[in-house]
Structure 1
């Protein structure tokens, strides 16, 4: 059995209880060494085989899974594996190989970054939509999902995997409709001990990152949700009736 487990955004105690238990029980752990906090590996038993997938190909990862098909294998991904985790291609191959698998969700880095900012993505009358995306680089994105087009919505946006292209990102955000003075934030290594949180404006994203020496492992967040203007939620408004409460007279 293979378990695809979300390791969480960084802090070792942000893995789920289920994920932690499976780590402790694992016979084999294959972890994304370039991103996963190595502190999590302390949960492994003394006889557990541990592989760092940072230098491995898909075929090499699958070979380890195949060789250990009768054992409990944990595939440990950063954040939640359903976001930029490349898990579908692994699962499709496991189907062909006749190896069963299960997914265990984790806390994504964009959630950890929001916590670092004490921010709410979905503020009333500001934004009710969150866009998770990245810039096209060596790996392309679908043309209809180009940053400039997504920016036209003016929604809360979180940009992954783009720390080396921030000047271009700024240009495309502004071209798409975010004002140069729109609030933005950079969260480096969310929830890790060396986390950095920078509040800035869209026009200053690149210079703010450069000033802090940030060129990897950062999320860029843009939108009115980082500002100070929003409407009160109807859910707790005494003048609003819903299924569980009558409005006050």
Structure 2
């Protein structure tokens, strides 16, 4: 059996209980060494065989899985964050299906969740945005033309950008080209969210390249953009005394409406 496991965003204790159990039971672990916190490997038993997939091709990864299966061993394929986001797991799962090898997937805490927690921020604020766009800049690998960054930026929604910290001048240009963000739109860079060496830099879209340059950040960072980082939003209707829900009736006096400072 092959278990794809999300390692979480960095802190070793942010792996799920299920993921930790599978890691402790594994006979073979294939982990994404360029991104997964190696502290997690302490959970593996002493007899466990460990491969670093940063130095492997897809074919080599599958061969290691096949070898373990032939010996009746259990394999954990340990991916950073949640394996469904930029995890390149589909090609592995398709190959395993072709070979008739059973597998399952255990989700994990994505770094975009870890970054929000580190910033004490909420991505979806009433009357600000109810949409989060997870994407990246086109670089050595392209993105579909319909997802070119300025097109996505035109929505003005919350945006979490992976794999883009080394291209911030171009990123700023494409964000502004969308027309919904301005130079003064709030933005943040979170380097290695939830790791011990995490760093947060908060500023504006216009300042993004300089924010990174001043702090020596050019990789392993998330870029977060949008007015969710600002101070104005509407109170949630769900907890408003004047709003009826399926669990309680509205009180007589309505709550005054208006912007609320977010602390």
1:52 match? 52
2:214 match? 211
The alpha carbon displacement at 1:71 in A equals: 1.0
Give CA-to-partner distance per residue, 1:80-99, whole Å, 9 cap, x none. Answer: 00000000000000001110
1:20 match? 20
Give CA-to-partner distance per residue, 1:141-195, whole Å, 9 cap, x none. Answer: 0001011000000000000001110000001111112010000000000000000
**1: CA distance, partners of 2:203 / 2:223:** 10
What SS does structure 2 have at the residue aligned with 1:90?
helix
1:191-210 equivalences in 2 (<5 Å): 191-210=194-213
1:120 match? 122
1:228 match? 231
The alpha carbon displacement at 1:55 in A equals: 0.8
Give CA-to-partner distance per residue, 1:3-33, whole Å, 9 cap, x none. Answer: 0000000000000000001110000000000
**1: CA distance, partners of 2:240 / 2:43:** 46
For the aligned residue pairs, the C-alpha RMSD in angstroms reads 0.4
1:96 match? 98
What SS does structure 1 have at the residue aligned with 2:166?
coil
TM-score for the superposition, normalised by structure 2: 0.94
The alpha carbon displacement at 1:225 in A equals: 0.2
1:164 match? 166
What SS does structure 2 have at the residue aligned with 1:61?
helix
**1: CA distance, partners of 2:175 / 2:118:** 23
Structure 1 residue 83 and structure 2 residue 85: aligned? Answer: yes
Give CA-to-partner distance per residue, 1:115-161, whole Å, 9 cap, x none. Answer: 01000000000000000000001100000101100000000000000
1:140 match? 142
1:175 counterpart (177, 180, 183): 177
The runs of 5 or more residues in structure 1 that have no matched partner are none
- Displacement over 6 Å in runs of 4+: none
